[in-house]
Structure formats: C-alpha cells, structure tokens
Amino acid sequence: MKKFLMVLIVLFGFIGVVAGAVNVVGPELDSGGYRYVIGGFVNSFIVPTNQQVKSVKEKTGGIIKGVCHMKGWENDPNNAGEYIINATTTTLAKECGLGWVRFDLSDPALDKNGNETTGYKNFKEQARAYHKAGFKVMVVTPYPQEYAEWDIGNGNFGDIRTPEGQAFLAKDAKYIREDLAEVVDAIQITNEMPVNRFRNPYTLEEAANYIRIQLKAMSEVEAEKNLNDNVIIGYNVADFSMYSFYELLSDCNCYCDYLGVDLYLGCFESTFKDLFIYDFVLRGFFGASGLPIILNEFGYIGAGTPMDDDDKNAYLQQTYGYANEAAATADIVNLLKHESFNEEILVHLMEELKNIDGLTVAQSKAYIDTLTDTEKAKVASMLFDPDDTNTYCQHFYKCLNEGFQLTNYEHTLEGQKNFYSDLINDHLSKMPFLLGCFVYCWADSDECYICGSAECPVETGWGLVSMDGDYQYNTSTPKPCYNAIKEAFANWK
C-alpha cells in the first residue's frame, strides 16, 4: 500500500510536466504512444524485475559500464593488418571502471558479390583489439543510408522499399550475427531511427521495418546455427518520437534481449529540467515492454556559452549584414548563398528538407533557387528556432541555446562532473531493471561532426578526457567528469 501511494504521489505530481511537454513538443508524444508514458511508468513500480533481466545480466557478466567511441587504435607492430588499443587509453579506461565499448559498423558486411567489405573487415579487427585489451564490445549496425549507398548502379540493391533490398538486408544481418558471434558481446540494430537525419531516406514506419527485418533475420540464424547465446541483441529509441517508434516495434520484443534508450536531457531541448526525467523515461519503457533497459547513450555538454537575442543579432549583423533573424528570414535565399554560410550546414538542411541523404555541396546549392515558400519557411525554422525538431540553430551560431540546460547543472566542467555524479549515484544505480549504460563519449573532439567547426561547442565538449591537441589518442588528460564517473561506477554494484 505504501508503494502504491508513493506511485500516485509521484505520478500526479508529474502529470503537469508531461502535459506541458506534450504541448511543447507536438503531436508525436501525444498521439503516437502517449499511453506508454504514464502506463509504463506506473507499471514499472507494480511489476517486479523479471527473470529476463536477471538472465541477461548473467550474459553481460554484470552491470554494463561502458563508453561510446573510445578509439585509441594503433597498428599492431607484431601482427600486420591487426590493431591494438594504445596503452594510455586502455589504462585510463580501465581505471575509470569502463569494461565495455560501443562503436559503429560503418559499412554493410557484404558487397553485391557476397564478399566482405573493407569497412567490415576493419571493424572486426578493431573489435578484436578491444577484446585483446580486455573490453567487451557492442556493435551498432549500419544506418539506412549506408545500405542505400550500395544502390548505385545496382537497381535499388540495398533499399528495403523493394523486395530485393529486404532480402539483401536480411542476408547481411544473418551474416553479421553469425560471423561476429565470437567477436562482439552485444548488437544494437542501427541507431536512433526516430531522428530524421539518421533514418534518411526512410519514414518512421519504414525505419521500424528496417530494424524489424534485421531482428527477425538474426533470430532465425541463431536458431538455425545454434549460435553463441551470450551475445545480446536489441535496438534503441531517441528523440521526442521515441514512444511512437517503440509502438511501431512493440511486436518485436520477442526478438530482443534488451531495449536501448538514448537521452541527452538539458542539451537539445529546454522542456525538461530535472534528473528525475531519466527515472520517468527509463521506467516507462521497462514497464511498457517488460524488457531489460540499457541507457545506450547519455551525456552532458561540458563547455560552451549560450547566446541571447542581442548576441545573435550582433552575429547576424557582423557576419551577414542582417539586423535580426526576421531580416535574415525575409532574405533566406541570399543568406544560404552567402560566402560565409557553412556549407556542411547547408548540406544537412537540404537533406532534411528533401528527405534524402548523400548530397554534395554543389547539389545542395542547386536546390536553393528552387525552394518553395513553404520550404523557405522550414529552412528558417531549422536555422533559427531552437525548438524545431530538426534544429541547426546551435550550429549556425556556434553556441549553446539559451535555456537548454538542467536546473543546477551548467554546461561547464563542474556542471558536467556533477551531472554524472548525481545521475549515476542517485538514479541509475537505483534501477534494478537497468542493465547498465554507455557514456557519450570518451574524448573531446577537435571539431563538430555536424558543422565541421572547431568553435562549435555542440559536439566537441562531451568527453571524459581532453586530448591536449593530440587526436591520435596517445595523450589524454582526465576531465573532472572522469573522476566523477570513476567514483560512481565503483559504487554501482
């Protein structure tokens, strides 16, 4: 009775926040899976941690304490064509309590002739290097556009909107599962399909089928070949349409050992302000699915300064000659053509707008004069509205958006440190259904992977270590958050 009353108090105290979020983020959260938000959260308190959670933890060897994109590979001086992980990275990671790494398989396993691709071969050697260094490995299978690249000259060879594409994807998934049975310890089917730029050229429904085909194929080959059962398989959700996306794939729970969730609260939205939201979301998915949960990506930006309206106006005036965003919006075509406009952002804008992937700069520029009034308005929204679901506002201004932070956690080294300490100690470690987590990410970056700028804080300040200008990963300096994670992981039993 006491537990039930606690649930009611928490639930009704939180309903106002959720209702407000629905109004802010639009119809996806409201119409496409809203029932999972409340129902799953309540159910997580009622349903005890199930046997599947316990059995999967046995497969993983305990709590997953991992990191994304650790890198640090070097050519093995004693074995041509093989890799090792350099001593600096290995030592620091192990001292931090990290036992897992998570990284991407960038290419399909097979080409059209059934031969292994170069990217796949490299991935296997890199995964083996992690194993030799004592780390377990989670592989993220390729994004849809990686298969779409194989379409060229092959008649939609890798497009799942054709029977041929579906057959190829299933074949590739079976090969990956069987061939990597002793090379990896966990498989995540692609990454963050609710995010438009990651799932291009597919719709949300098509992206769900892209995952479904792979899950089913891997399940089939496991049964056919009696494969190593210790490799766990699942997929992840992210973004505000994560509930809609889970609903599309809820029929696939039977193929999954876990459900992954990616959360970056306080970095890409201004709605949620409290660490309790992590409890709410993770509990919601456990209660709805019954599957063990992995926090597959989470982190907090540790650098950068927000711009207010005056700062933005000054930047527009100095760089482009516009007094404010309204003036720039009214002249959006010439803004996009301006010599100072970031070409990498332009490519992303046009790909989002046209729902295609792989545009060149020249192709993107050619689209500018063809934009309709509706498309011009959408481009302006993506550039200037920080709450647009496909916003590039932070990258355009090379700043953090004002108000995009959790209460009491500024985007500083100290704020980043406290975020990890409080979240892991007071929240994640208290969730018995949570298999573990992967911190994003190992090291600060020398440039933003979206806009290419070294001055953009959005994708450069996530790391647990700084590289001191050495991006060959031979030297690394732990940041304050490194020690916070080290202590928190040591306490998480």
pLDDT at 37: 66
pLDDT at 356: 81
- Write a three-state SS string for 397-466: HCCEECCCCECCECCCHHHHHHHHHHHHHHCHHHCCCEEEEEECCCECCCCCCCCCCCCCCCCCCCCCEE
What pTM was computed for the model?
Answer: 0.90
pLDDT at 12: 42
Q: What is the mean pLDDT of each run of 10 residues along the chain (493 residues)?
A: 43 43 39 64 78 92 96 82 87 97 95 90 95 97 85 61 90 97 97 92 94 98 90 95 91 97 92 92 92 97 92 96 97 97 96 86 96 96 89 93 94 97 98 97 91 91 82 74 98 95
Share of the chain residues as helix, strand and coil, in percent rounded to the nearest 5: 50, 15, 40
pLDDT at 73: 79
Nearest CA-CA partner of 296 in 435, 183, 411, 419: 435
pLDDT at 40: 81
